[in-house]
Structure 1
Amino acid sequence: MTILERELSNSDLIYIYWEQDGKWYAYEQSAFYLSQMMLGVSLGRYVMEDTLWLAKAEVDVSRISHENIISYSKTEYVLHYTPHNGFHEWLAEIK
């Protein structure tokens, strides 16, 4: 299953992938969820296959709360999405 296929049906998980540059990244829905769950995570854009633009976030895996980890390996983390406690209060303030 490709990253895009996985993200199309992603409703409450965060997938983080280790890449050859030695860094960890989340894409699309996972990147959005991560930006809502962890302060300081910003979304960028990534071009795939010269035509498709994806949301991308670099991840410092040392900041991941162990209580959110479902599984992990040398190349992938899977987390359960739980929004940052202050996010809902912040959202209410800007509405």
Structure 2
Amino acid sequence: MCEVVTMLERELSNDGLIYIYREEDGKWYAYEQSAFYLSRMIPELSLGRYVMEDALWLARAEVDVNRIPQEKVISHSQSEYVLHYTPYDGFHEWLAEIK
């Protein structure tokens, strides 16, 4: 798993960024607030729970990085993506669905 302390520190004060981490299994994951924000951008994204060391439960979403809207990417590397999130991401698509 990504460096847990760094990830938790980021998520505690996260108010507009999405952090996606590449894990040892080669898959990409977003946690906590980042996972929630990403689920607002990609409605079909499924949020789940990740239990760490039988004590800490985290919201987690597995991410297909090929589906990330490139205009939202602030930076990326082989181990991490950072995206910009605005509260209205996905709002117009949601509005179109309910009409």
TM surpasses 0.5: yes
- Please state whether the residue corresponding to 1:2 is helix, strand or coil: helix
User: Which residue identity is paired with 1:6?
Assistant: R
Spell out the pairing of 1:30-49 with structure 2 (5 A cutoff). 30-49=34-53
User: Mean alpha-carbon deviation: is it higher for 48-57 or for 13-22?
Assistant: 48-57
Q: Identity across aligned pairs (percent)?
A: 68
- 1:66 aligned to 2:73? no
> Aligned equivalents of 1:39 and 1:22: distance in 2?
23
| 1:81 shift after superposition | 0.9
- 1:54 aligned to 2:61? no
- 1:86 aligned to 2:54? no
User: Which residue identity is paired with 1:42?
Assistant: S
> Aligned equivalents of 1:49 and 1:10: distance in 2?
24
User: Which residue identity is paired with 1:86?
Assistant: E
- Please state whether the residue corresponding to 1:86 is helix, strand or coil: helix
Task: Give the alignment's Cα RMSD to 1 decimal.
Answer: 1.5
| 1:56 shift after superposition | 0.2
> Aligned equivalents of 1:6 and 1:41: distance in 2?
21
- 1:28 aligned to 2:28? no
> Aligned equivalents of 1:27 and 1:15: distance in 2?
8
Structure 1 gaps, min length 5 = none
Spell out the pairing of 1:3-18 with structure 2 (5 A cutoff). 3-18=7-22
After the TM superposition, which segments of 4 or more aligned residues of structure 1 sit over 6 Å from their partners?
none
User: Which residue identity is paired with 2:93?
Assistant: G
When normalised by structure 2's length, the TM-score is 0.84
